[in-house]
């Protein structure tokens, strides 16, 4: 897997680069593992816009991914294909279990087509195998980690992401997350050994505005470029750098404030915050 650059034939192609897809072994997804996906346009169930600058984009099918992998313990599976997923920056592996069932999982780095993977305590601590944290040796890289036993993977699911299993203390395991945060997780939570594949994704350059629109991202206009009736930072004679502290369109200060609730119950599991040295759990 590598970054490919095109010979610029137009202005829009000058900075454009994309991920080489020659390693993908299957172009069409498994029909039984897909379902339709309706776009929200950033609106909630009441029709109100809660996330701005979303909408449009290419049509997608959602791939049903097995985030739990707890009901296939002890059954070996063969990695049958490496596929593209339009809904995330990671790739997918199609697993075919010994009983004939097929399932999608996140593609692990260094796991080859045709390789055997296993779930459960009898599995070896090798990339692609899934088991509880209490059965994983300290110091290994893991991804697709659960926060609550049986709930399904929530941590380290993006391309190239991984956590480090730093320690085990009784019923808790200490993880170092990609952000630098150190967090305690129940030792019965499941995780997959290794790093998420497609590690070159962060080096890709979108190159032009149209490609962002294909991804469903709409344009973002600076508040200082608007009229004062549309934004608190707007207006002024000539070009101005805002003229006041940065604010949201509704007049709230938009920099330097905390976005996490102080009394969030899970704070007690955080040993070190994203900003190194910051004690969040106390």
Maximum alpha-carbon separation in the chain: 72
pLDDT at 282: 47
In the chain, residues under CATH classification 2.30.30.30 are: 3-40+57-202+261-272
DSSP state of 211: H
Give dist(CA 148, CA 139) in Å, integer.
21
pLDDT < 70 regions, the chain: 1, 275-282
Residue 217 contacts residue 210 (beta carbons within 8 Å) = no
Q: Tokens standing for 132?
A: 């509880």
- The sign of the CA dihedral 43, 48, 53, 59 is positive
CA distance 45 to 50: 10
Res 275: pLDDT = 66
Distance CA 1, CA 19 (A): 7
How confident is the model at residue 33, as a pLDDT? Answer: 97
| CATH architecture of the region 3-40+57-202+261-272 | Roll (2.30)
Question: What is the Cα Rg of the chain in Å?
Answer: 22
- pTM for the model stands at 0.89
């Amino acid at each position: 897997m590598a970054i490919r650059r095109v010979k610029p034939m137009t202005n829009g192609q000058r900075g454009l680069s994309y991920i080489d897809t020659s390693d993908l072994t299957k172009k069409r997804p498994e029909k039984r593992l897909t379902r339709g996906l309706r776009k929200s346009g950033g609106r909630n169930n009441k029709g109100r816009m809660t996330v701005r600058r979303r909408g449009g984009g290419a049509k997608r099918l959602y791939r049903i991914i097995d985030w739990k992998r707890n009901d296939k313990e002890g059954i070996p599976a063969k990695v049958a294909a490496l596929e593209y997923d339009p809904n995330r920056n990671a790739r997918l592996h199609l697993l075919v279990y010994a009983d004939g069932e097929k399932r999608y999982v996140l593609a692990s780095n260094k796991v080859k087509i045709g390789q055997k993977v296993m779930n459960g305590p009898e599995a070896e601590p090798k990339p692609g195998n899934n088991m509880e944290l209490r059965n994983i040796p300290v110091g290994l890289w893991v991804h697709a980690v659960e926060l609550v036993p049986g709930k399904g993977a929530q941590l380290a699911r993006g391309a190239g992401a991984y956590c480090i299993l730093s320690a085990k203390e009784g019923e808790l395991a200490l993880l170092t997350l990609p952000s630098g945060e150190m967090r305690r997780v129940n030792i019965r939570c499941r995780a997959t050994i290794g790093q998420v594949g497609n590690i070159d994704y962060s080096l890709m350059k979108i190159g032009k505005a149209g490609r962002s629109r294909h991804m469903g991202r709409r344009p973002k206009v600076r508040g200082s470029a608007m009229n004062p009736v549309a934004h608190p930072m707007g207006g002024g004679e000539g070009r101005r750098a805002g003229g006041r502290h940065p604010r949201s369109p509704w007049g709230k200060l938009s920099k330097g404030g905390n976005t996490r609730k102080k009394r969030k119950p899970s704070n007690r599991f955080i040993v070190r915050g994203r900003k190194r040295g910051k004690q969040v759990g106390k």
